[in-house]
Structure 1
C-alpha cells in the first residue's frame, strides 16, 4: 500500500529537507504548516489566502518549481512525485466543501481492496455542483452524505459499510457484488449486521435482492465468493446436509475449516489464490494430514470446479457423505442437473 507523505515531527527548519516549501513571510505560518502537513503537502488557493499568502507569492513558488499546480486552485507544496494520499487530498480540495473520498478510493484507504485504481473517486453533497472537469477524478453526488461520512478518518471518506454499498451499486456483475461484500467481512472491516443496517437506510440500490440474500448467507459463515458458491450451488441446490462454515478447531495448532461436516467426518476446503500459495500450501498440507490422522476425509475445490461444475462437485461430495453414513438423497438443482448424467 502507498506510503503517505508524512511530515509529522518535521520542524520548520527541517521543512526544506523534507521537500516541502512555504513562502518565508506568511502571517499565519504555523497554521499553514499544520494544514499542509495534515493534507500531505497539498493546499488550496483559498486556504493559502486565509493564511495570508498572496497570489504573487503563489506565482513565485510555482515559477521557481518549488510548487506545482495539481488542479485549478490546488497546489502541491513539495518536490517529487505525488503520493496516493496527496492525490486524494488534491482531489478533495478541488471538489470543495463537504467532499469525501468514496467508492474504490475509500475502499483502498480502508483496506477493503488492494489496488487504488487510476481514478480518484470523491462524493460531494447533492445540493451543490462541482464545475469543470477534474483530471483523473470522478465526482459523485449524494443526498445522505452527512450520515454516510466517517466522523474522524483522514482523508475524509465514507464509512466502510457505505463504501461497500456504493461499490455494489455500480457493480456490473453478481460476482463483483459477492467480492465486495465478502472481502469487507473476511478482512474484519465490517460484518453482515452493519451492512444490513446501512442497506436498510437506502431507498434505492442496485442488486438489492441479491445483496439481502447474500448478507444472510455471509451471516451463516460464508466468507468468500467460493464459500457462497458452495453454499448456494452445491450444498443447498442439491439437498446436501448443512455444513458448519469457518469452524475453528483447536489442537497443537488452531486451524479453520471452510466447511465441516463433523457428523460424517468430512471436511471441504475451498481454495482461492490468496492464502494458498507458498507458505499457505504447507499449511494446507499440515491441515489435511492432521484431518486424516483424526479420521476425517478432506475434499478440496477451487474456482474451476465450483464455477464450472458445481453439479459434479455435489455428486462427488454426496458419494463421500453416503460412504460415511449420510442417509439422504442427492437432489436435482434443476431439469438439466449435471449431477445426474
Structure 2
C-alpha cells in the first residue's frame, strides 16, 4: 500500500474508492477499513485515511474527489487557497466539467459546471483549482452587488495575486460574464492605482463625477521612511487619505497621525474620509474637497453630479 499511502499524503489523507481499487484494495478491504475505524467515509465513495477533524485542504480534496473526473476547487474556495481572501466561508466550492452531473446532497459542498474548465484550471497547484484570474472573474460573475465585485478585483490586486492586465486578458477570453462594461471600467481604474472599493468610489463618485482635478493615486513619497498617499493633488499641496479598516487601526493609526503631522509641517493639507463619508455622502465630500483645493489655487470648473447634488451650491 506504499503507493496508496503516498497518494493519500499528497491529498491530505483523502482517497476515493476508484483510487483505492486502482492501488490494489478490494471493496471488502475498504469495508473492513471503515468498519474497523481505520478509515472514515467523508462523502459517497470518498474516504479519509486519517482520524480526527479534517483540515481545510482535506475537505477540499474530499469535495473534488466526490465531484469526480476533472473537478477543481473554484470561487471562494480557490480564492482562499490562493490568498485572495481570509475566510473560506461555510461552503466548499468546486467546478466540474459541464458534460457531467454530480449527484450530491452534501450541504457543505456546492458544485458548479463549466465548459472551459480544461483551460481555466491551474496546471500545477494542489489541491487542483482554477487560475487566479478565472477565480476572480467567477466571483465577480456571481457577486450579488457591484460593490462585492469591486472588492474581489481590488483584493486580488492589493494582495498581488494578479494584475489588472492579466484580469483583462482573461476577461477578453470569456464570451459571457455579467457586468462586462462595469468590469472593464473597473480594471482600468484599478490599473490607475485605486486599490480598494473605497478608493474606486472616491475616484468615480467624488473626483470624476464632480469635475475635480485628477489626483495621483498610491503615490510613494520617499524620505526617512517611505510613505504612501492614497490621493495626492500635488500642484495644490492637498492630500486625501481614505481610511478603510485594514491598515488604519492600532499601530497603523499612529503611523497615519505621524504622516499627517509631517505633511502639515511641510505645508500640505490632509483630508481624511472613511466609508461612511465616501459611500454615504460623496457630494458632501466633493464640496469640502473642492473648497480646500480652491483656497490652494485650483481654478478649474467643478460641477454637480445630478439635480439633487449639494455641489450645485458651489460658489
Coarse TM-score class (shorter-chain normalised): over 0.9
* Count of aligned pairs between the two proteins: 313
Does the Cα contact within 8 Å between 1:217 and 1:228 map onto a contact in 2? yes
Q: Deviations over 1:116-172 (max 9, x none)?
A: 011111001112222343341111111111110001100000001100100111111
Does the Cα contact within 8 Å between 1:315 and 1:330 map onto a contact in 2? no
Give the 3-state SS of the residue equivalent to 2:277 in structure 1.
helix
Aligned equivalent of 2:132, options 148, 160, 166: 160
Q: Distance in 1 between matches of 2:311 and 2:36?
A: 73
The reply on whether 1:104 has 2:76 as its aligned counterpart is yes
Shift of 1:61: 1.7
**1:309 aligned partner:** 281
Q: Deviations over 1:174-233 (max 9, x none)?
A: 101110111101111111111111111111111111101111111111110011000000
Aligned equivalent of 1:330, options 295, 302, 306: 302
Q: Distance in 1 between matches of 2:141 and 2:152?
A: 11
Does the Cα contact within 8 Å between 2:120 and 2:131 map onto a contact in 1? yes
The reply on whether 1:90 has 2:62 as its aligned counterpart is yes
Give structure 2 stretches of 5+ with no counterpart.
Answer: none
Q: Deviations over 1:61-89 (max 9, x none)?
A: 21122211000000011111011100000
Q: Distance in 2 between matches of 1:339 and 1:281?
A: 31
Does the Cα contact within 8 Å between 2:303 and 2:312 map onto a contact in 1? no
Does the Cα contact within 8 Å between 1:312 and 1:338 map onto a contact in 2? yes
**2:245 aligned partner:** 273
Normalising to structure 1: TM-score of the pair? 0.90
The reply on whether 1:42 has 2:14 as its aligned counterpart is yes
Aligned equivalent of 2:113, options 121, 141, 154: 141
Q: Displaced runs of 4+ in structure 1, greater than 2 A?
A: 131-135
Q: Deviations over 1:250-294 (max 9, x none)?
A: 100011100001110011000001111111101111111111121
Normalising to structure 2: TM-score of the pair? 0.97
**1:295 aligned partner:** 267
The reply on whether 1:215 has 2:175 as its aligned counterpart is no
Shift of 1:59: 1.6
Aligned equivalent of 2:225, options 212, 235, 253: 253
Give structure 1 stretches of 5+ with no counterpart.
Answer: 1-28
Does the Cα contact within 8 Å between 2:216 and 2:231 map onto a contact in 1? yes
**1:224 aligned partner:** 196
The reply on whether 1:236 has 2:198 as its aligned counterpart is no
